[in-house]
Amino acid sequence: MEHSYFFKRNTVYRVDGDDIAIVDVKQNNALTPLDSWMATIVLLADGQHTINQLIQHLTSQYSEGAPENLIETVESVITRLTESDVIELTMRPTLLPYYLRIAMDEQDPKKATQMMIKDGFIAQS
């Protein structure tokens, strides 16, 4: 996996306390809860940071030293998230639209919906 790629969210997400879920806005806002590794990467997938920066950030969170398999774990999680189109890898930084940039619960629902329709992210109902 190329660590110089940037990673960005392709889905709306929801934060409920310590629980993070992706939201399928095309299917009645169905929630898919994420395990802690996936949640961490989805939350950090702002389109402005590379995989290498993600690894450096995660490594710095361990005062006693990062686990030996940290890089393999991050790569595995990123692979699963890209295969399910939750995140995308890009060669350049990307500014996320409003409805992907912040948690669903913090958005103005009307504004988010209008922007999603305008961008073709969802169909007008």
Contact of 50 with 3, CB cutoff 8 Å: yes
Is pLDDT above 90 for 4? yes
Q: Residues 77-86: pLDDT tens digits? A: 999 999 999 9
Model's pTM, two decimal places?
A: 0.92
Q: Tell me: the pLDDT tens digits for 8-25? A: 999 999 999 999 999 999
43-93 confidence digits (pLDDT tens) = 999 999 999 999 999 999 999 988 999 999 999 999 999 999 999 999 999
Specify burial of residue 97 (Cβ count, 10 A radius: 0-12, 13-18, 19+): middle
